[in-house]
C-alpha cells in the first residue's frame, strides 16, 4: 500500500468464494471436496496477476490483491479474466464432471480503508452482499456494513433461539373434501422472539439454511410434531396425519432417512402418520439421489407430498417415477384459478393427471367459498386454507380436533 500511496495508484483487496460449496462438498464427500478446492486454487494461481498475494482464507474462500491501477475497470478486467479461468472449464473429480461458479467482493485502497483489517472487513461485506443478490462481483459500499451487522445479529439470535427453545409448531388442518373431515394437519414453524413476538418462517428459514442451523431445527420439528401427535392419541383423539416441511439442505444429507427413523423411534410413534412436504424444485435437483431416499421413507410408511407444485419445472415423466403420494397445488394457482380460464385449465389438468398416477391432490391457500366450489367440481381431494382455519398453536388445534 505504501508504493500505491506514493504513486497515487490504488490497490484492490478481492475476496472470492465458491458458490454453494457446502452443497458441492456434501455431494462429493470430504476428500473429493478437498481435491476440488486444491484444483481451484491451482487455477487461481495460474491466472492471477500477482499470484504471491493469493491466500486460501478458509474452507472455500480465497483472497488476493490487485495492485497499482488507477481505474477500477482495470481491476475488474483482471478479475474477470481470472474468474473465467477458474470457473470456465468444468473440473473432473474422480468420475464426476463438475462446473462451479464464484462470487467476489472488492474493497479498494484508499477509498474503502487504509489498513489491511478494514479492507478485509469491507471486502467481506461486499462478498456477502453480492452473494445475497447473486452478483458475480460486488464493490464495497459503506452502507453494507450495517446490513451485514444486521444479519450477524439475526444469526446470533437464531443460535440463542435454538438454545432457549424459542421455536414452536403451529398446525393448520387439512380438510377431506368428500367427507368434510379433518384428514391431517401441517406443522408450520414459528419463532417466539422475546423481543418481537411471533415471527414467520419466511423471515428466518433462509438464514437457518444458509448457516446450516436448519439441520438441528428441522430434526427438532419432526420430533416435536410426532410428540404432539402422540399427545393427541393419548388424549383419546382420532390423531390426524401430520405433515412436516423439509428443506433442501436436510434432504441432501446422507443421514436424512436415519434422522427421520430416529425421531419415529424416540417418540414411540408406531403406528405413525407422518408425511413430509418437499418442494418440487428440490426433488428435481438430484433426482436419482432423491428417489432412493424417498423410496426408503415410503417403505417406512412415511408419505411424501410434493409442495408448491406447479412452480417448478418437473417433467411429467419424472412424476410417474417418484415415490410420492400427494401433490400440493401452489396457492398462486388457487388464487388465479377463479380469475382466468388458463389457470383453471391448469389446475384441472393437474388434478386429472395426478389421479391417473394414483396421487392425491391437495389445494393450499383456499380463502374463498368460490375457490372451494370449483375445487369440489374438479374433484380435488383435500384443501387447506384460511377459509377453514389458519395455522393454530397446539392447544387451539387440540380443541379444534376435539370437535371434529
Ligand atoms: P408452505 O409449505 O407453502 O406453507 C403454506 C404457507 O401458506 C404457510 O405460511 C401458511 O400459513 C400459509 N397459508 C395457509 N393457508 C393460507 C391462506 O388461505 N392464505 C394465505 N395467504 N396463506 C395461507 P407460513 O406458515 O408463513 O410458512 C411459510 C413457509 O415456510 C412454508 O410454506 C414452508 O415452506 C416454510 N416452513 C414452515 N415451517 C417449516 C419447517 O418446519 N421447516 C422448513 N424447512 N420450512 C418450513
Ligand atoms: Ca408445506
Ligand atoms: Ca406454498
Beta strands in 3-151 (DSSP E): 10-18, 55-58, 61-69, 91-93, 96-98, 102-109, 137-139
* CA torsion, ordered 188, 192, 197, 198, to nearest 10 deg: 0
70 C-alpha vs ligand 3 centroid, how far in Å?
Answer: 50
329 C-alpha vs ligand 3 centroid, how far in Å?
Answer: 8
Contact by Cβ (8 Å): 311, 327: no
How far is the C-alpha of 201 from the C-alpha of 329, rounded, in Å?
20
Closest CA to 106 of 66, 133, 68: 66
Architecture label for domain 165-402: Alpha-Beta Barrel (3.20)
- What is the three-class DSSP state of 389? coil
Contact by Cβ (8 Å): 354, 388: no
**Residues flanking ligand 1, CB < 6 Å:** 172, 188-189, 200-202, 205, 218, 221, 245-247, 277, 307-308, 364-367, 384-386, 391
Indicate the CATH number of 2-153 among 3.90.1150.10, 3.30.70.270, 1.10.1670.10, 2.60.40.420.
Answer: 3.30.70.270
331 C-alpha vs ligand 3 centroid, how far in Å?
Answer: 6
Give Cα separations from 367 to 58, 126, 338, 389 (angstroms). 49, 42, 11, 9
User: What does the chain come to in residues?
Assistant: 404
Contact by Cβ (8 Å): 182, 401: yes
pLDDT tens for the chain, 404 residues long, are 667 777 788 999 999 999 888 888 887 888 999 999 999 999 999 999 999 999 988 888 999 999 988 888 888 889 999 999 999 999 998 888 888 999 999 999 999 999 999 999 999 999 988 887 778 899 998 877 777 777 778 888 999 999 999 999 999 999 999 999 999 999 999 999 998 899 999 999 988 988 889 999 999 999 999 999 999 999 999 889 999 999 988 988 889 999 999 999 999 887 789 999 998 777 777 778 888 999 999 999 999 999 988 877 666 667 788 899 999 999 999 999 999 999 999 999 999 999 999 999 999 999 999 999 999 999 999 999 999 999 999 999 999 999 87
Cell of 158: 437464531
- What's the confidence (pLDDT) of residue 270? 79
φ/ψ (deg, to 5) at 330: -60, 145
31 C-alpha vs ligand 1 centroid, how far in Å?
Answer: 37
The CA angle 212-214-215, to the nearest 5 degrees, is 80
Atom of ligand 1 nearest to the CA of 208: 44
Long-range CB pairs of 116-121 (<8 Å, 24+ gap) are 116/1, 116/13, 119/13, 120/13, 120/15, 120/63, 121/145
Spatial CB neighbours of 30, under 8 Å, sequence gap ≥ 6: none
How far is the C-alpha of 104 from the C-alpha of 95, rounded, in Å?
29
* CA torsion, ordered 313, 316, 320, 321, to nearest 10 deg: -50
- What's the confidence (pLDDT) of residue 283? 73
Tell me where in the chain the CATH 3.20.20.450 domain(s) lie.
165-402
How far is the C-alpha of 10 from the C-alpha of 86, rounded, in Å?
24
- Nearest listed ligand to the Cα of residue 251: 1
Cell 389421479 maps to which residue? Answer: 355
Q: Which DSSP category does 392 fall into?
A: B
- What's the confidence (pLDDT) of residue 314? 60
Residues paired with residue 276 on neighbouring β-strands, in sequence order: 244, 304
Q: Residue 195: which region, alpha, beta or left (left: phi > 0; alpha: psi -120 to 50)?
A: alpha
CA 157, 162, 165, 170 dihedral sign is positive
Number of other residues whose CB lies within 10 A of the CB of residue 340: 10
Residues 255-283, buried b or exposed e (16+ Cβ, 10 A)?
Answer: ebbebbeebbeebebeebbbbbbbbbebb
- What's the confidence (pLDDT) of residue 161? 94
Render 291-334 in DSSP notation, one character per residue.
HHHHHHHHHTT-EEEEEEETSS---HHHHHHS---EEEE-HHHH
Q: Which of 191, 201, 388 for a ligand 1 pocket mutation test, highest count of atoms within 8 Å of Cβ?
A: 201
Which residue has the CA at smallest separation from atom 23 of ligand 1?
Answer: 365
Q: What number of H helices and E strands is found in the chain? A: 17, 16
> Helix 21-28 and helix 30-47: axis angle, to 10°?
130
Tell me where in the chain the CATH 3.30.70.270 domain(s) lie.
2-153
Amino acid at each position: 500500500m505504501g508504493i500505491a500511496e506514493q504513486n497515487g495508484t490504488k490497490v484492490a483487496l478481492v475476496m472470492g468464494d465458491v458458490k454453494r460449496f457446502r452443497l458441492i462438498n456434501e455431494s462429493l464427500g470430504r476428500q473429493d471436496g478437498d481435491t476440488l478446492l486444491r484444483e481451484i486454487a491451482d487455477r487461481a494461481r495460474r491466472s492471477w496477476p500477482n499470484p504471491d498475494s493469493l491466500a486460501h482464507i478458509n474452507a472455500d474462500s480465497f483472497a488476493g490483491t490487485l495492485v497499482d491501477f488507477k481505474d477500477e475497470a482495470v481491476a475488474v478486467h483482471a478479475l474477470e479474466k481470472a474468474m473465467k479461468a477458474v470457473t470456465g472449464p468444468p473440473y473432473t473429480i474422480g468420475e464426476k464432471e463438475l462446473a462451479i461458479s464464484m462470487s467476489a467482493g472488492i474493497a479498494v485502497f484508499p477509498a474503502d480503508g487504509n489498513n489491511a483489517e478494514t479492507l478485509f472487513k469491507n471486502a467481506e461485506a461486499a462478498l456477502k452482499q453480492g452473494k445475497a443478490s447473486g452478483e458475480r462481483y460486488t464493490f464495497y459500499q459503506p452502507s453494507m456494513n450495517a446490513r451485514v451487522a444486521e444479519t450477524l445479529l439475526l444469526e446470533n439470535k437464531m443460535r440463542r433461539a435454538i438454545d432457549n427453545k424459542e421455536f414452536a409448531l403451529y398446525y393448520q388442518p387439512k380438510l377431506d373434501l368428500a367427507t368434510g373431515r379433518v384428514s391431517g394437519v401441517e406443522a408450520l414453524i414459528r419463532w417466539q422472539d422475546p423481543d418481537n413476538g411471533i415471527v414467520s418462517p419466511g423471515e428466518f428459514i433462509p438464514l437457518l439454511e444458509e448457516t446450516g442451523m436448519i439441520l438441528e431445527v428441522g430434526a427438532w420439528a419432526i420430533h416435536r410434531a410426532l410428540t404432539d401427535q402422540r399427545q393427541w392419541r393419548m388424549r383419546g383423539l382420532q390423531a390426524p396425519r401430520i405433515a412436516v416441511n423439509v428443506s433442501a439442505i436436510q434432504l441432501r444429507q446422507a443421514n436424512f432417512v436415519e434422522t427421520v427413523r430416529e425421531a419415529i423411534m424416540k417418540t414411540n410413534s408406531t403406528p405413525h402418520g407422518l408425511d413430509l412436504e418437499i418442494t418440487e424444485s428440490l426433488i428435481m435437483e438430484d433426482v436419482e439421489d432423491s428417489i432412493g431416499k424417498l423410496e426408503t421413507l415410503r417403505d417406512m410408511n412415511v408419505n411424501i407430498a410434493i409442495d408448491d407444485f406447479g412452480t417448478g419445472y418437473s417433467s411429467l415423466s419424472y412424476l410417474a417415477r417418484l415415490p410420492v403420494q400427494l401433490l400440493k397445488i401452489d396457492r398462486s394457482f388457487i388464487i388465479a384459478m377463479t380469475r382466468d380460464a388458463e389457470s383453471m385449465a391448469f389446475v384441472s389438468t393437474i388434478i386429472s393427471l395426478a389421479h391417473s398416477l394414483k396421487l392425491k391432490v391437495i389445494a393450499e391457500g383456499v380463502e374463498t367459498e368460490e375457490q372451494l366450489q370449483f375445487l369440489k367440481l374438479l374433484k380435488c381431494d383435500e384443501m387447506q386454507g384460511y377459509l377453514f382455519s389458519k395455522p393454530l398453536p397446539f392447544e387451539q388445534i387440540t380443541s379444534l380436533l376435539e370437535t371434529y
